[in-house]
Structure 1
Amino acid sequence: MIEIYFASSSSGMVRQFAERLGRPAHDLGDRDVRRSVPEGPWVLITPSYKTGNPDNDTIPEPVRRFLRDPVTRRRMVGIMGSGNRNFGSHYQAAARTIARISGRPVLFEFELQGTQWDVADARKVLDELEVALEAAHSA
């Protein structure tokens, strides 16, 4: 089963979304989680923040630290992003930047904590990804 690793601010909106996906969800705010290495394929859920400084990176520090490990990066199969459309060009900046750098796809984007329909759509994306990975592995 594809597991979820997420970064969430104190508002807990990304945590709420991750926990509603019905899969193991690991909080990158926890030091032990950040120091772990996923055993199999995993998906990152990251928020993006408007920094007001276009030169300032919007990737949360816990995500940056977790992705330092080459095995962790290699096992990541995709990214989901949470953002706020009020941030304009910064909307989904972290997810899109990580996707560009890692060569992994942005699987799903949602605003704030997501709606019940977003959760259902994200679950479907994860289920389809899991089927595709199993098919590729057995081929």
Structure 2
Amino acid sequence: MRQTPVYYYSSKSGMVKQFANNLNRPVFDLSERDIRTSVPDGPWVLLTPSYKTGNVDNDTIPEPVKRFLKNPETRRKMVGVMGSGNRNFGAHYQAAARQIAHISGRPVLFEFELQGTQWDVEDAQNILNDLDHELQRAHKE
């Protein structure tokens, strides 16, 4: 069965990268130009951090994520969004994932704080496995 790949962006802290690599499925780092300029070959999930801390002039969506989503074909193939955030951001917690989901009409599949916990990884793995099964079922119909 095809595992839905996760395309992610991680800051220098590496927390999102660590989470993505623990998902045990194909993951692609949007900080790499060749990945950011590619087009996924099928359904995919976005994993993005949020950085907005209350400054209204501070855009919450990381630039590499914006660049990747500029391609209409890439956007069409996105099936969901996962987000990493910091509860210290208050109302802006998970702002990037929620904004992208709202604009794209795709669901927020999972949210976690900072690098997440082992339970967050397990929950995300279960959600993605269920998504894989649902996409396979829908493809057969």
Matched ranges for 1:66-85 at <5 A: 66-85=68-87
Alignment-derived partner of residue 133 in structure 1 = 135
Question: What's the TM-score once normalised by structure 2's chain length?
Answer: 0.96
1:43 corresponds in structure 2 to 45
1:49-128 mapped onto 2 (5 Å cutoff) = 49-128=51-130
Q: Output the aligned Cα RMSD.
A: 0.9
Task: Give 4+ residue runs of structure 1 displaced > 6 Å after superposition.
Answer: none
3-state DSSP of counterpart to 1:37: coil
Identity of aligned residues (%): 70
Match of residue 27 from structure 1: 29
In the alignment, the residues of structure 2 paired with residue 75 and residue 34 of structure 1 have an alpha-carbon distance, to the nearest angstrom, of 15
Report if the CA contact (8 A) 2:80-2:107 is conserved.
yes
Query: What's the CA shift for 1:53?
Result: 1.9
Number of equivalences: 139
5+ residue gaps, structure 1, are none
Q: 2:18 aligns with which of 5, 16, 34?
A: 16
Alpha-carbon contact 2:52-2:58 (below 8 Å) kept? no
CA distance in 1, matches of 2:45, 2:16: 13
Is this contact kept in 1: 2:84–2:115, CA < 8 A?
yes
Between the aligned partners of 1:50 and 1:5, the Cα distance in structure 2 is: 21
**3-state SS in 1 of match to 2:23:** coil
- Structure 2: 5+ residue runs without aligned partners? none
Structure-1-length-normalised TM-score? 0.97
The equivalent residue for 2:5 is 3
